Amino acid sequence: MDLNPYITFARDQLHVTFKDIQLLVTAFTHRSYLNEHRKSASEHNERLEFLGDAVLELVVTEYLYLNHGEPEGILTNWRSSLVRTESIGAAAERCGFADLLRLSRGEKQGSERARAQILANSFEAVIGALYLDQGWEAAKTFITENILSTFEEILATGSWMDPKSHLQETAQAAEGVTPVYKVLSEDGPDHDKIFTVGVYVGDKLRGKGTGSSKQAGQQKAAEAALAWYKNQTKV
């Protein structure tokens, strides 16, 4: 296989020269790829992801502890917002991970949600590979540049808050009313239901969301309502 794209990625995005470039290739190898390439690939990225997840959490935890004096509960919420799938998936997208992923043909045609999860997992796997090949400081630098660099924006936008809590603050500030959630529909068999939930502020529907539980639907509805309020501020 052509290793040049991975060598270039290591140089341009990770600012290192890997001693074992195969570690980095493995970090981009999804489990599904092995099913179609049994002769040319023997390891997927899940073990590296396991390691990288721990390194990521420790780097973020250390940063928050050393630089912010807030109570444990707030620090935990901040950490969760920094390491959640959406945050690290977006970082992977910015760094150009998508072009290097090794996926089966079926996974390449997967949903946007599945793709975001694969990107997030590969981001953690790359951290694991970087830690093994280059050490703690290299992994910490990569995390600082691509994850911790977004922290001020997270604080400014309030996106670290639980969407329902954030919406409650936003709606009360804007309209003096507490949001109310209502199930609009339930679809599918009992063991695999999909709930569509609406969130109302006063008598106005401000957002809808779907999920595999009422709680998940409420969270998505809150996110949609927050997006609506954000758009109003731009008008």
Q: Which is the catalytic residue, given 49, 53, 133, 223? A: 53
Distances (CA, A) of 17 to 9, 81, 131, 227: 10, 31, 13, 41
Of 128, 106, 160, 118, the C-alpha closest to 56 is 128
Q: Catalytic residue at 192?
A: no
Cβ-in-10-Å burial (0-12, 13-18, 19+) of 168 comes to middle
pTM (2 d.p.) = 0.74
Supply the pLDDT for residue 112: 77
SS3 182: strand
SS3 2: coil
Cα–Cα dist 18/23, whole Å: 8
Q: Catalytic residue at 53?
A: yes
SS3 59: helix
Distances (CA, A) of 53 to 82, 121, 169, 190, 221: 12, 9, 32, 34, 29
Of 120, 169, 124, the C-alpha closest to 143 is 124
Residue pair 64/78 in contact (Cβ under 8 Å)? The answer is yes
β pairing state of 194-201 and 180-187: antiparallel
Supply the pLDDT for residue 73: 86
- Please tell me the total number of residues recorded for the chain in this structure: 235
Domains of the chain by range and CATH? 4-157 (1.10.1520.10), 163-234 (3.30.160.20)
Q: Which is the catalytic residue, given 49, 107, 124, 223? A: 124
Cα–Cα dist 129/122, whole Å: 10
Q: What DSSP character marks residue 218?
A: H
Supply the pLDDT for residue 235: 52
Q: pLDDT tens string for the chain (235 positions)?
A: 889 999 999 999 999 999 999 999 999 999 999 888 877 778 999 999 999 999 999 999 999 999 999 999 889 989 988 998 889 999 999 999 999 999 988 888 877 778 889 999 999 999 999 999 999 999 999 999 999 999 998 888 777 777 888 898 899 999 999 999 999 999 988 888 899 999 999 999 999 999 888 988 999 999 999 999 988 876 5
